[in-house]
Amino acid sequence: MRILSGIQPSGTLHIGNYFGMMKPSVEMQNNGEAFFFIADYHSLTTLPDPSELRKRVFNVALDFLACGLDPAKALIFRQSDVPEVTELAWILNCITPIGLLERAHSYKDKVAKGFSPNTGLFAYPVLMAADILIYKSHVVPVGKDQKQHLEITRDIAIKFNQQYGKDVFVIPEERIREEVAVVPGLDGQKMSKSYNNTIEIFGKEKEIRSKVMKVVTDSKGLEDIKDPSTCNIVALYKLFASPEQVKEMEDKYRAGNYGYGHAKQALFEVIWEYFAPYRKRREELLADPSYIESVLKTSAEKARAVAAKTMDEVRQTVGLR
């Protein structure tokens, strides 16, 4: 079984990204043949800054390797190191009805927010379909926000196979990560870069501490009895602490004489400790950036061999050979 997922290099990774996407992606490497790529072609639709793009791609690779992605088990590569994917996207563009793309929520949302869309943004789901189909992926684990893109991929694959009367493409199974809860941000809304409420995975000690101190709570005083079930500190604490530690904190809330300042200190400590081994690994990796490059390159070569084979079949099928 081939499992594939991709991420846009859209900025510094936060703990919402970690629990929502990185951790499940890293776990994927134990469940099948895992292909993981950094969607830099997709980023060009919204990020026209070459040095920033290069920096972000490198950092995503670094952070994933630091957080446990094992190049001996899984591939991690740059999307653009397999340029065949853009050729496939073109061929798929030629069978994709415009109406299918006009209905895409993520496109409509960006336009509604006043974004002036380029053609790449409009055709974004077709490139994503090419990413998935070129590797004949069976399973594509994504967050809920990507559900419609996956449906579009399936529609395109089915249409292609029917139109040419040949099962060239595997119809990928959608696997929405329902089990992954939405990680709340400092203000209790979904943690997101766009809401400015994030805690970065690899932030400096002082930064993380000061962010944790900003977690929004109600205004109960030190002696007051508090409700752990509605508290944002507890919700975050649960992601990092053991069940015993969580129970201990909940008991203290109910007993009174335990202030939000104490709870925040405990939260900071578990976060800091949780990422300690990853920080250490990240430092080691940073000492030799050429290692990261070599992992990306070796992975891309393997992925490219799979893509080249699919493309031979596709070109033959559509009459380009």
Interface residue with ligand ADP, options 3, 4, 21, 140 (CB under 6 A): 21
Q: Under the criterion CB under 6 A, does residue 8 sit at the interface with ligand TRP?
A: yes
Interface residue with ligand ADP, options 10, 46, 93, 245 (CB under 6 A): 10
> Measuring CA to CA, which residue among 11, 14, 13, 77 is closest to residue 49?
11
- The question of whether 190 is a catalytic residue gets the answer yes
Structure tokens at 149: 């893109």
- Of 136, 190, 238, 309, catalytic: 190
- The question of whether 136 is a catalytic residue gets the answer no
Binding mask 132-171 for ligand TRP (x = CB under 6 A): x-------x-x---x--x----------------------
Burial of 256 (0-12, 13-18, 19+ CB in 10 A): middle
Answer for the pair 145, 152: CB distance below 8 angstroms, yes or no.
no
Burial of 31 (0-12, 13-18, 19+ CB in 10 A): exposed
Q: Could you tell me the CA-to-CA distances from 286 to 10, 103, 279 in Å, in that order?
A: 20, 43, 10
Q: Which does 16 bind (CB under 5 to 8 A by kind): ligand TRP, ligand ADP, none?
A: ligand ADP
- Strands of the chain (E only): list them: 2-7, 33-38, 74-78, 139-142, 173-176
> Measuring CA to CA, which residue among 250, 264, 262 is closest to residue 208?
264
Q: Under the criterion CB under 6 A, does residue 121 sit at the interface with ligand TRP?
A: no
Q: Under the criterion CB under 6 A, does residue 20 sit at the interface with ligand ADP?
A: yes
Residue type, 102: E
Q: Which does 131 bind (CB under 5 to 8 A by kind): ligand TRP, ligand ADP, none?
A: ligand TRP
Which residues neighbour 204 within 8 Å (Cβ) at sequence distance 6 or greater?
none
The least distance separating ligand ADP from the CB of residue 319, rounded to whole angstroms, comes to 37
For ligand TRP, give the closer residue by CB, 153 or 232: 153
Give the three-state DSSP class for 176.
Answer: strand
For ligand ADP, give the closer residue by CB, 53 or 180: 180
φ/ψ region of 11 (left if φ > 0, alpha if ψ in -120 to 50, else beta) reads left
- Of 193, 220, 238, 252, catalytic: 193
Structure tokens at 109: 């949302």
The least distance separating ligand ADP from the CB of residue 142, rounded to whole angstroms, comes to 6
Binding site for ligand ADP (CB under 6 A): 10, 16-17, 19-21, 143, 145, 180, 182-183, 190-194
Binding site for ligand TRP (CB under 6 A): 4-8, 39, 42, 128, 131-132, 140, 142, 146, 149
Q: Which residues are catalytic?
A: 110, 190, 193
